[in-house]
Amino acid sequence: MKGKLHEEKKELQKMSDYKLNTRCVQGGYTPGNGEPRQIPIIQSTTFKYDTSEDMGRLFDLEAEGYFYTRLQNPTNDMVAAKIAELEGGTAAMLTSSGQAANFFALFNICENGSHIVSSSSIYGGTFNLIEVTMKKMGIDVTFVSPDCTEEELNAAFKDNTRAVFGETIANPALTVLDIEKFARAAHAHGVPLIVDNTFPTPINCRPIEWGADIVTHSTTKYMDGHGAAVGGAIVDSGKFDWMAHADKFPGLCTPDESYHGITYAEKFGKEGAFITKCTAQLMRDLGCIQSPQHAFYLNLGLESLHVRMPRHVENAQAVAEFLESHEKVAHVSYSGLKSDPYYELGQKYLPNGGCGVVSFELKGGRAAAESFMKRLKLAAIETHVADARTCCLNPATSTHRQMNDEQLREAGVVYKVYKNTMLHLAFDGTDFAQLDKDLEGPTAIAFGIEDETAPARIINNFAKEAEALEIKSGVVDGEYYDAAGVKVLATIPSKDELISKLLGSLQSPITNFARVVKQIAEAQGETAAE
């Protein structure tokens, strides 16, 4: 691996003289005399050596070469080198998926007792990875709005914070991360900024140039571009000084007893320590390697990336403008629209356009969305984004089905998912402004019009089955209720039920009537007390 990193560094220096277009086509691999013009597929699990000493030097990271594809493979490394060249990094590795890439990037510097600061506007799978799975490993997280002030962002850090995470363009919210703001905060606290750059790709944004230290990708999306191969990638900028913050990163800055006592930051420096540890330790133990065949497909996609991305942006802009002007469309999210709240950030970080994903909301809610999806002709319904063929997904009726609409409608409840930014603006100057402090992470809000307590009852019942659903707070008649208070509200019967009881009591002895009135008063009193 030592030799490989050296050779990669020399190749990166050569390719840095060329434009991105050339790097897409020519990067990562330079054939010698009589060698294959295309990156070869090394479809082998193992590699042969003449002596045990030769193999021993590989295990000691003293020599160049490969010994087992679970850790490294030549095909993968050639493609990873190309991605590093495109992002302006010093070293890179491929993983089996984008989810694996984000997990490896975070877990490489976090351990039991660590803390992460993350933008709340990220892909749902990544949110769950950090919020649920990594919490089970003893790694805590504080989610902040991507629109938070620098003061709010800095307030999220703790003594045990080890990384900051965000997405250049969030999937599928399409918020644009202020990379410089998050980088300043991360570096002020001595930790790296990790940015998932899947949607814009390095063609439209290179986060390292704006201060990011580690860049990740789901190569399944635009980089592959054809829905052919699942994969991920991690790129190290080679700029973060691990030894300057050695107390925070013992895994990089102290001897690794599980790997011959190597101190990665000392042996491989800023340019190679992160990826070397990620390979020698995490890939060794977890084995989330991308297959050489998939890496080959990925490289074919990369060769046309510089041609496809401008056309994706051109098409998305036209679609977004059309939808924005359509009478049946309630709202469109796309940073290329001047009306979009992220337009200015888009102009700064994405001057050539962001990506080909457009998010929009139809008037008429879920019923209108279902009708729209049934009438699609060219666009295919897929659980996917970012390939050469147009696809369309309605999360509310497919991947993100969570609520019982029939129950909600019967109760006169309107259920909507909004950006926290929009909720902040909508709540300003109203009784609902009391909810601002609870707007972190993916947020849904339910309104009860005919029956103010109906949302509390329905959502509370649903939460008993949906472990991931967290009740945060509510407002009824101008009064704020925390999670416990909402659960008390959920115990209050519906208006119709109360009226029925009241009418029934009128036909009974006065004692029954008094008992019902007392029950109502007690319920209201308990609610008020909460």
List the chain domain ranges. Answer: 2-303, 306-397, 412-529
Indicate the range of 88-92, 129-133, 466-470, 512-516 predicted with least confidence. Answer: 512-516
Mean pLDDT (whole number) for 394-406? 55
Mean pLDDT (whole number) for 142-159? 95
Q: Is the pLDDT of residue 308 over 50?
A: yes
Q: Is the pLDDT of residue 69 over 80?
A: yes
- At 499, is the secondary structure helix, strand, or coil? helix
Q: Over the chain, what is the mean pLDDT?
A: 86
Query: Looking at the domain that runs over 306-397, which CATH code has it been given?
Result: 3.90.1150.10
Mean pLDDT (whole number) for 445-472? 69
> Is it true that 2-303 and 412-529 share their CATH fold?
no
Q: 51 or 458: whose pLDDT is higher?
A: 51
What the block records as the tokens of 109 is 């510097």
Q: What is the pLDDT of residue 434?
A: 86
Q: What is the pLDDT of residue 489?
A: 76
Report whether CATH 1.20.58.1690 matches the domain 412-529. Answer: no
- Give Cα 256 distance to the centre of its chain: 30
Q: 63 or 254: whose pLDDT is higher?
A: 254
Looking at the DSSP assignment, which residues form a beta bridge with residue 392?
Answer: 381
Mean pLDDT (whole number) for 459-486? 76
Q: What is the pLDDT of residue 4?
A: 47
Report which residue type is found at 204. Answer: N
- At 330, is the secondary structure helix, strand, or coil? strand
**Residue 116 φ/ψ, nearest 5 degrees:** -120, 140
Mean pLDDT (whole number) for 348-372? 91
**Residue 447 φ/ψ, nearest 5 degrees:** -115, 130
Q: 500 or 219: whose pLDDT is higher?
A: 219
Write down how long the chain is. 530
Mean pLDDT (whole number) for 128-138? 94
What the block records as the tokens of 234 is 């991690």
Q: Is the pLDDT of residue 414 over 80?
A: no
Contact of 403 with 417, CB cutoff 8 Å: no
Q: What is the pLDDT of residue 60?
A: 81
Contact of 251 with 68, CB cutoff 8 Å: no
Q: What is the pLDDT of residue 223?
A: 98
Q: What is the pLDDT of residue 359?
A: 92
Mean pLDDT (whole number) for 172-190? 96
Q: What is the pLDDT of residue 367?
A: 82
Contact of 403 with 454, CB cutoff 8 Å: no
The rounded percent of the chain whose pLDDT value lies above 70 is 82
Q: Is the pLDDT of residue 528 over 60?
A: no
Q: 268 or 482: whose pLDDT is higher?
A: 268
Q: 101 or 438: whose pLDDT is higher?
A: 101
Contact of 87 with 95, CB cutoff 8 Å: no
Q: Is the pLDDT of residue 412 over 60?
A: no
C-alpha to C-alpha distance for 78 and 28, rounded to whole angstroms: 5
Q: What is the pLDDT of residues 42-61, one digit of tens each?
A: 999 999 999 999 988 888 88
Q: What is the pLDDT of residues 441-457, one digit of tens each?
A: 667 777 766 566 777 77
Query: Looking at the domain that runs over 2-303, which CATH code has it been given?
Result: 3.40.640.10
Q: What is the pLDDT of residue 511?
A: 53
pLDDT-derived band at 124 (thresholds 50, 70, 90) equals: confident
Indicate the range of 93-97, 142-146, 188-192 predicted with least confidence. Answer: 142-146
Q: Is the pLDDT of residue 507 over 90?
A: no
Contact of 64 with 3, CB cutoff 8 Å: yes
Cα 421 to Cα 146, 185, 285, 443: the distances in Å are 9, 20, 40, 11
Residue whose tokens read 């080679």: 238
What DSSP state is assigned to residue 68?
Answer: B
C-alpha to C-alpha distance for 222 and 231, rounded to whole angstroms: 11
